[in-house]
Amino acid sequence: MISKYITTPIYYVNGSPHIGHAHTTIMGDILKRFSLMRGVPTYYSTGTDEHGQKIQQVIEQSGLPADQFLAAQAKEFKDLFDRCNVAYDLFMRTTDTEHMTLVQGVLQDLYDRGMIEKKEYTGLYCVGCEQFKTTAELDELGRCKDHLTEPQKQTETNYFFGLEQHREWLVNWLKSSDDLIQPESYRREILGMLKEPLEDLCISRPKSRVWHGIELPFDTNYVSYVWFDALFNYVSNVRRGDAADFDFWWSNATHLMAKDIIKTHIIYWPIMLRAAGFEPPKHYRIHGYWVAEGGQKMSKSLGNVVDPNDVIDTFGVDALRYYLTKNMGGSDAHISKGLIEATYNTDLANNIGNLHSRVLKFVFKRCDGKTPEPAEIAEPDRELQNYVAKTLDNIVNTVDLITLPDTMKTFLQIADRLNTHYNDAEPWKMVKDESQQNRFLSVCYVMLDCLQMFFRALHPIIPEAAEKALVSIGIKTPSLEPVAVSFSPDTLEPGTPLGTIENLFPRID
Ligand SMILES: [Zn+2]
């Protein structure tokens, strides 16, 4: 049986959730909802990464007991995702017992099979990254490129996991499918990195330095390094609770992520899986970064940070979801409250919202608050229905993370075409002309029929507004069950009472 398992990265809880966290998590939700509309059972996980040195530092600064501090941090992420209408199936935390037990089991198994080795290592260590850096990873001044601080020379005895013996397999696997990594440029980037031998991966931290982590089962003086701990969430999520059908979900796993973590996910992760006896994931979908309007990096000092909670307070959750979906595929994209407001007014208030309100109000008034029953559907109206049904079917069946901006353009084209059709038909004139009664009913029926298809297909993107729109047409909201949806003309039952007509997107001035 076909299935789909979608994951976001788990988010590091050393700070509050930002627009990037909201974006990836909303995209996962949208892909999950479309997958369910294709009738595919879909499991969607997100969560928080709660171990490691940086988190240990913020726990110590907070003065709170670790579990209390972490629970509060995780809740901040969970609350934001709930406000974003994200229908995740699991919000995992790396401090969950089920997860820690699995990671320890995997580590013990790799150790028993001689794949983990203890040795001394001297290198340049960046505290911010919690990583030893190679000189190639430093800038001209010898600083960490991410933190712009000079790493410290450090010698440590640690446990290492060998990668090089898997390199040839990894290269072949990466070349095996064009659908594995999108956008394609990231596969080329990774294949470029794989031209050089892979150094052993340090998988531990001495407790003398990092006490906050999963203890190595074979040496209690050490904890597991954060990547090994974090990446195995993708496995532990579907080996516990009501999702414990590992093979079913893992057979079609899609990892969503921003471009900064592709090396760990596309080099280390498949190798860890292979060593531990698991299949690699099926898909990687990678998006860019949100930058401020004008192209600068968002920063508190520049005052250009866009806070997702603030956007929801000002414009509503659907405006946030819509803006993020419309503007980012695989590349970087700009964001500001001004840009969101402009998009809201142009696309949502003036186009989609206005289309809904004028058609529904008119039909409600002129057709006794019910879906009209035309004697026959006129040819131009039938053409419109066929176009809408076919286009929406195509959207639902081909939707993918990196092509979402194109999908949104198509939705807007449909809205434009519906607006034009309605304007050209002028049903407000037909209603006064006895000889035009059949066409009048045909136009009214077809506009409602097209709108119900349109809002059912838009539901994964803007669930709140789509639900209101469907209520006004007397249609039930799509369920979060795997029920295949297909779009075809005349599914709307004549005589169905219309519901409350709410203004979906009041204009903001
Ligand atoms: Zn760094």
Amino acid 317: pLDDT: 98
The residue-averaged pLDDT of 349-365 equals: 98
How close is the Cα of 32 to the center of ligand 1, in Å?
34
Residue type, 199: E
Q: Smallest Cα–Cα separation from 361: which of 444, 431, 277?
A: 444
How close is the Cα of 226 to the center of ligand 1, in Å?
15
**Tokens found for residue 27:** 């995209």
Q: Output phi, psi for 19, to 5 deg.
A: -60, -30
Per-residue pLDDT band for 242 (boundaries 50, 70, 90) equals low
Amino acid 292: pLDDT: 95
pLDDT at 76 over 80: yes
What is the total residue count of the chain? 509
**Structural domains in the chain?**
4-287 (3.40.50.620), 310-473 (1.10.730.10)
3-state secondary structure of 352: helix
Task: Indicate left, alpha or beta for 286 from its phi (over 0: left) and psi (-120 to 50: alpha).
Answer: beta
pLDDT at 131 over 90: no
The residue-averaged pLDDT of 144-163 equals: 92
How close is the Cα of 40 to the center of ligand 1, in Å?
41
> Who has greater pLDDT, 1 or 447?
447
How close is the Cα of 144 to the center of ligand 1, in Å?
5
pLDDT digits (tens, 9 = 90+) for 20-40: 999 999 999 999 999 999 999
How close is the Cα of 164 to the center of ligand 1, in Å?
24
The CA-atom distances, in angstroms, between 314 and each of 122, 256, 311, 320 are: 51, 28, 5, 10
pLDDT at 81 over 80: yes
Amino acid 94: pLDDT: 97
What is the 3 state secondary structure string of 179-206?
Answer: CCEECHHHHHHHHHHCCCCCCCEECEEE
The rounded distance, in Å, linking the Cα atoms of 420 and 256 is 38
pLDDT at 112 over 70: yes
The CA-atom distances, in angstroms, between 258 and each of 16, 145, 243, 353, 444 are: 17, 17, 26, 32, 45
pLDDT digits (tens, 9 = 90+) for 133-147: 888 889 999 999 888
Amino acid 244: pLDDT: 66
The rounded distance, in Å, linking the Cα atoms of 496 and 425 is 23
Per-residue pLDDT band for 479 (boundaries 50, 70, 90) equals confident
Amino acid 509: pLDDT: 84
pLDDT at 56 over 80: yes
| Whether the Cβ atoms of residue 442 and residue 376 lie closer than 8 Å to each other | yes
Amino acid 469: pLDDT: 98
Per-residue pLDDT band for 243 (boundaries 50, 70, 90) equals low
The residue-averaged pLDDT of 262-290 equals: 97
Tracing tokens 């969607």 back to the chain, one arrives at: 44
The residue-averaged pLDDT of 385-405 equals: 97
Amino acid 1: pLDDT: 59
The rounded distance, in Å, linking the Cα atoms of 56 and 222 is 15
Q: Output phi, psi for 217, to 5 deg.
A: -70, -20
Per-residue pLDDT band for 121 (boundaries 50, 70, 90) equals confident
Residue 221's Cβ-count burial label (10 Å; 0-12, 13-18, 19+) is exposed
Q: Output phi, psi for 367, to 5 deg.
A: -125, 30
How close is the Cα of 320 to the center of ligand 1, in Å?
31
The rounded distance, in Å, linking the Cα atoms of 357 and 472 is 10
The rounded distance, in Å, linking the Cα atoms of 204 and 191 is 27
**Residue 486: Cβ within 10 Å count:** 13
pLDDT at 227 over 70: yes
Amino acid 145: pLDDT: 87
Percent of the residues in the chain that have a pLDDT greater than 70, as a whole number = 99
**Tokens found for residue 26:** 């909303």
> What pairing do the DSSP bridges indicate for beta strands 131-133 and 181-182?
unpaired
Sheet holding 152-161, edge to edge: 131-133, 116-126, 152-161, 201-202
The residue-averaged pLDDT of 375-382 equals: 97
How close is the Cα of 152 to the center of ligand 1, in Å?
11
Q: Output phi, psi for 45, to 5 deg.
A: -120, 145
pLDDT at 372 over 80: yes
Amino acid 200: pLDDT: 93
Amino acid 16: pLDDT: 93
> Among 51-55, 130-134, 423-427, which stretch is predicted with the lowest mean pLDDT?
130-134
pLDDT at 274 over 90: yes
Secondary element (H or E) of residue 224: strand 219-224
Q: Which residues are catalytic?
A: 18, 21, 126, 129, 144, 147, 297, 300
Tracing tokens 């974006």 back to the chain, one arrives at: 23
